[in-house]
Structure 1
Amino acid sequence: MQSTVISQNPAASWLPYFLLTVPPLCWAGNIVLARGVIHLIPPIGFAFWRWAVAFVILAPLSWGRVRRDWPTVIQNWKILVALSLLGVACFNTLLYVAVHTTTAINGALIQTTMPAIIILITLVAFQESVRFLQMAGVMLCILGASLVLLRGDLSTVLNLSFAQGDLLMLLAVISYGMYTVLLKKRPDMHAMSFLTVTFGAGALMLAPFYLWEACFREPVTFTRDVVLSIVYVAVFPSIVAYFCWNRGTEMIGPNRAGLFINLVPLFASIMAMIWLNESLKLFHVVGMCSIVAGMSMFNRIGGRT
């Protein structure tokens, strides 16, 4: 019914595409901001306060729904803990640690492999069939990410001199890929309840690591820039991006929506060049084209099945 309304109303036909453009813009800003404030705020503290503030914002808005869904939360606590660990605690903490030793452009490009990694995990976990051309698209995407990891230098394979941040970013993407696959087992509860519970659980998981970092490494100093950065990542890459992504995917379907993740490197590259004075190199462009071509191939074939 929703798709019919959209197709019959030309003024609303652009809405899902606008909604799906917002999350990559927010996520690109998250990577660039994390890279820009690495000397101001430690990574675990940044991740902890991101989710803690997001939870504090959501909790008053969703408390009634959370109370109604609480029996479902208790009954499905194991899957909710797993989702909170992979998608909230691990993913963003690894990302924030990674940007200490990689560029924002590299981080954004590696993040575009997420759709391909999700496909591979689903293939292994659920034995879902994948067409040859779809797999070719996945391989193109992985090839593009490999080019970024190698920094355009094939001799890196022989020397095994990957940047630590690149590998941590890849681990972050794999973590979020596992989270996305586990969403197939998400309990039947309101979206607001789900986000509130997983955000809160993720913050609780990070709390002991945050205390360790604050006591033995570096405490968070709440300057104006730090507070504004935390508020940004709590509101836009967390709450706004999740709601826009979920609604846009509902309107046009996951296959077509998945391609929008490839806007992350475009937005991040522009932001990094403007605010961080990073340079865009040839291997970035070739890797980006390979990733976009691979995901376009998969989504084109996948959309027909």
Structure 2
Amino acid sequence: MAIPSAASPSRAVSPYLLLTLTPFFWACNWILGRGLHAEIPPMAMTFYRWAFAIVFMLPFALLHVRRQWPLIRLHWRVLLLLGVLGVGAHNALAYLGLNYTTATNGVILNSFAPVMIIALSWLFLRRRLSNVQLAGVMVSLAGVLTILAQGSLAQLLAFRLNLGDIFVILSMLLWSLYTICLRWRPPGLHTLAFLFVIACVGTTAILPFYVGEAMLDRQVEWTWEVAAALASVGLFSSSIAYIFWNRGVDQVGA
């Protein structure tokens, strides 16, 4: 498996294509996360998802990490923030939410993320919305509300957030903050080195919560199916999806 470097010809790939493919990988993650919530507790799901991702990336990222270690040390605060926000806390809250809500609700609420990103960019960065962005926000909101309403105003008015939905919304809020903070990503840091480092940070941050969860007798029920699901999430929804998202945001902007 060859993963393109930050300076490779993959720059020619449309960032909009990358940002379009990413939600597909994440939708698969929502479905697997909900389907396996009885076998894999949320903190364990977060921990093992990224542990698998780290293993997948290790052969490709290690050389870049070694070469750019001085740059990584120089920007450790930013990398710490991005790792905790985008890898640890965001994923843990999402999987926690899937214990109380459906995969469908998770995917629908996840579609609010672009709206949150634009709103937070305007709030914190004072970025003015273009007419195209404003139209995109309105279309996104209208689409989500239509799905929630199932074509019925009464259905929309009867909609109530449950505990899981609230966790998912908080997860999306952290993801939006992560996306905005990507503007402070260390310049010149290789794509794989960057993702590998924040994956290690996020996995380390979630480790105490995973241990605490296990001590409460909430442990993974290991089967070949569970291992395969975690491996696929680690490869597609973590490694590849995050590379696509980070590169797309880097070229388009938050």
Q: Same fold (TM over 0.5)?
A: yes
- Most deviating of 64-73 and 188-197: 64-73
Pairs within 5 Å for 1:63-82: 63-82=62-81
In structure 2, the residue matched to 1:62 is: 61
**What secondary structure, in the 3-state scheme, does the structure 2 residue paired with 1:117 have?**
helix
Q: 1:247 to 1:154 in 2, by over 3 A?
A: same
1:171 equivalent in alignment to 2:170:
yes
Structure label with greater radius of gyration: 1
Gaps of 5+ in 2: 1-7
- Shift in Å, 1:39: 1.1
Partner Cα separation in structure 2 for residue 217 and residue 171 of structure 1: 26
User: 2: distance between equivalents of 1:45 and 1:70?
Assistant: 29
Matching of residue 238 in structure 1 with residue 241 in structure 2: no
Distance 1:249 1:49, change over 3 A: same
The corresponding residue for 1:127 is 126
Q: Within 1, Cα distance between the matches of 2:179 and 2:20?
A: 19
Q: CA 1:20/1:127 → structure 2, altered by over 3 Å: closer, same or farther? A: closer
- 2:179–2:249 contact (8 Å) kept in structure 1: no
Q: Relative to 1, partners in 2 of residues 1:155 and 1:226: Cα closer, same or farther, differing over 3 Å?
A: closer
* 1:295 alignment counterpart: none
Cα 1:146–1:171 change in 2 (3 A) is farther
Q: Note if contact 2:18-2:245 (Cα within 8 Å) is conserved in structure 1.
A: yes
Other-structure match for 1:101? 100
1:154 corresponds to: 157
Do the aligned partners of 1:150 and 1:162 also contact (CA within 8 Å) in 2? no
What is the CA distance between 1:28 and its match in structure 2?
1.0
Structure 1 stretches lacking a partner, 5+ long: 7-12, 259-305
Quick check: 1:206 aligned with 2:206?
yes
Count of matched residue positions in the alignment of Structure 1 and Structure 2: 241
Q: Which residue of 2 aligns with 1:287?
A: none
CA distance in 1, matches of 2:146, 2:20: 25
Q: Given residue 154 of structure 1, which amino acid in structure 2 is its aligned partner?
A: L
Residue 58 of structure 1: CA displacement? 1.2
- Give the match for residue 225 of structure 2: 225
TM-score normalised by L of structure 1? 0.70
Q: Distance in 2 between matches of 1:166 and 1:144?
A: 18
CA contact (8 A) 2:50 2:199 kept: yes
Q: 2 CA distance for matches of 1:132 and 1:20? A: 20
Q: For the Cα contact (< 8 Å) 2:213–2:219, is it kept in 1?
A: yes
Greater alpha carbon shift after TM alignment, 45-54 vs 131-140: 131-140
Displacement after TM superposition at 1:149 (Å): 6.7
Q: For residues 163 and 238 of structure 1, do their structure 2 counterparts lie closer, same or farther at Cα, with a shift above 3 Å needed?
A: same
Query: Which residue does the alignment assign to 1:39?
Result: 38
Give identity over the alignment, percent.
34
Change over 3 Å in CA distance of 1:144–1:163 after alignment to 2:
farther
Which is further off, 71-80 or 147-156?
147-156
Deviation at 1:25, TM superposition (A): 2.1
